[in-house]
Amino acid sequence: MPQTVVPIRAATQPAAPPGPQRTSAADLDRLLHAWQSRFTGGHSPSTASLAFLDWAAHALNAPFETAEFGRTAVEHWQRLARIALGTEALLPLPEGDRRFADPAWSQHPYKLVVQAVLLGEQWCESLVQSPDGMDPGNRRIMGFNTRQFLDMVSPSNWPWFNPEVVAATRATGGRNLIEGFSNLLADKAAARGPAQDDPHFRLGIDVAATPGKVVLRNALMELIQYTPTTPMVGAEPVLIVPAWIMKYYILDLSPGNSMIRWLVGQGRTVFAISWRNPDASMRDTTLDDYRSIGIMAALDAVQAICGPAKVHAAGYCLGGTLLAIAAAAMARDGDAQLASLTLLAAQTDFTEAGELQLFITDDQLDFLGDVMGAQGFLSANQMGGAFQMLRANDLVWSRGIHDYLLGKHDAPNDLMAWNADGTRLPARMHMEYLRGLFLHNDLAEGRFRVGDRPVALADIRLPIFAVGTERDHIAPWRSVFKLHLLNDSALTFVLTSGGHNAGIVSEPGHPRRSFRMRLRAHDGRSPGPDEWRAETAPQDGSWWLAWGDWLAAQSGPPVAPPAMGAALADAPGAYVREH
């Protein structure tokens, strides 16, 4: 097995001829776009402008319908007056809206402010959604941008309008605002330093602490083999392929909620890929490099250590999508190394990929390509900003109120520490992923090519275990569910409570966890997602236990643990520490 780091490839651009080079107009535009991205969070200003022009053109061309909104505004004011007089019932808060959850918002005069906000938001959102004929993508962008603006100007964000902040300021004599300013300064300082400096969650000690050895290192990843803890293990090893958008130890957090440690304790020989944190030198790394130098190299190493036993492969998020691509290419080429396939919150069809689609347009991707071309990668802050805006109330404004206006600070936890430990994404790989999968849906529609030939998910002939999470805003469960339409192998689908991260990190014993699970037999009937949910009863507890039973059903008799591979370093290795 290779044990040294070698370059992934030489630069793909031809060598520049000698002599001074003139900067082209296109180069200057790219520099302009890179500069603009500092103020737009990496979003193309043209995308928002085009969406607004589309809305404005259709609104102007429907003058009578648009004029109706003047009458609707008057009706809303009249309704607010009736609410103030007590002759009409209060509007309920939208489901999941926690801005006005504090009891003080239900008292005068604040409850009238809440009602004015709800009526105003209804009016604004119906206005931007009203004209017929708009491009659906532009309609979604207009709705999203309007929502962002309304969230920003909500009175809950202003200390003199928020009764909870007013009460705290009176009670503490303004101490809450001093503490909040201190929290703001501390957060700013932490953002400038490596997230791994958190003294509460040290890599290899408090998190990513499952004992093991790095048994393979190449230019893109380290492969970790975990030390067995049981006298007998499953004959087939488990290979975990995490997403490269974040560090792998989301699946190896604290000992009590580490999926990897739990698997080892269940008598599994476990290997996990730890991806390298790319820098500008890796700008030309491709999506197929992640497959070949990542998954395929790891599979070869696992079988070199464990012998000819087939491998249970499990992929999380982008790692699951890549694993599905690799499995389809292996099926096409007659490669039978895999025993089963587990996909955790991983999409294979991107036609309903949730609100992330708002950022996936040709214009936006051209702009993003210029931004990444200037720096060679997409930074963790740029990617994290997009995810935060999808849940701005929860991740931006509510946190700002809690930390900076009320002066509170939640005790850190392992998931928060992991979430702050971001990674970069190579420019070329990220554009291939966004264009080929998100924008054009090449994998689901049979156009995605591996080795100059297309692959088909229908070719995979393996038992599949797929998990979606109920509140996933990154890989919506109905999108994950579409694998039923792309492959007719025996497919066990699980819908678990929680979101993209907490729904997967759902260890046994965690309170208030539940899941639904149902097998679609080989060549069996595939219901629609809502029909499936209605027909599948929930079960209390962790889906990990059901997955453990499923792995056991796909495995042969237990054997003695295989010898550990040649150790290059102790787990968690070197790549996870790169920042």
**How far is it, in rounded angstroms, from Cα 428 to Cα 284?**
5
Q: Is the CB of residue 348 less than 8 Å from the CB of residue 339?
A: no
Residue type, 404: Y
**How far is it, in rounded angstroms, from Cα 495 to Cα 557?**
29
Residue type, 467: V
Q: What is the CA angle 254-257-263, rounded to 5?
A: 110
Q: Spell out a b/e string for 98-111, using b for 16 or more CB atoms within 10 Å of the CB, else e.
A: ebbebeebeeeebb
Which residue is catalytic, options 239, 243, 293, 317?
317
Max CA pair span of the chain: 82
Q: Is the CB of residue 188 less than 8 Å from the CB of residue 176?
A: no
306 is annotated as an active-site residue: no
**How far is it, in rounded angstroms, from Cα 397 to Cα 295?**
39
Q: What is the CA angle 305-311-312, rounded to 5?
A: 135
Q: How many CB atoms within 10 Å of residue 129?
A: 14
**How far is it, in rounded angstroms, from Cα 171 to Cα 277?**
47
Interhelix angle 362-375/25-40, nearest 10 degrees: 100
> Tokens standing for 567?
């150790």
Q: Which residues pair with 313 in a beta bridge?
A: 239, 341
Closest CA to 31 of 305, 298, 258, 370: 370
Q: Is the CB of residue 166 less than 8 Å from the CB of residue 159?
A: yes
Q: Which residues pair with 378 in a beta bridge?
A: 425
**How far is it, in rounded angstroms, from Cα 308 to Cα 66?**
69
**How far is it, in rounded angstroms, from Cα 526 to Cα 521?**
9
The DSSP output letter for 565 is: P
The DSSP-derived string for 466-530 is EEEETT-SSS-HHHHHTHHHH--S-EEEEEESS-TTTTTS--TT-TT-EEEEEEE-TT-----HH
How far, in whole angstroms, is CA 181 from its chain's centroid? 30
Q: Please give the positions annotated as active site.
A: 317
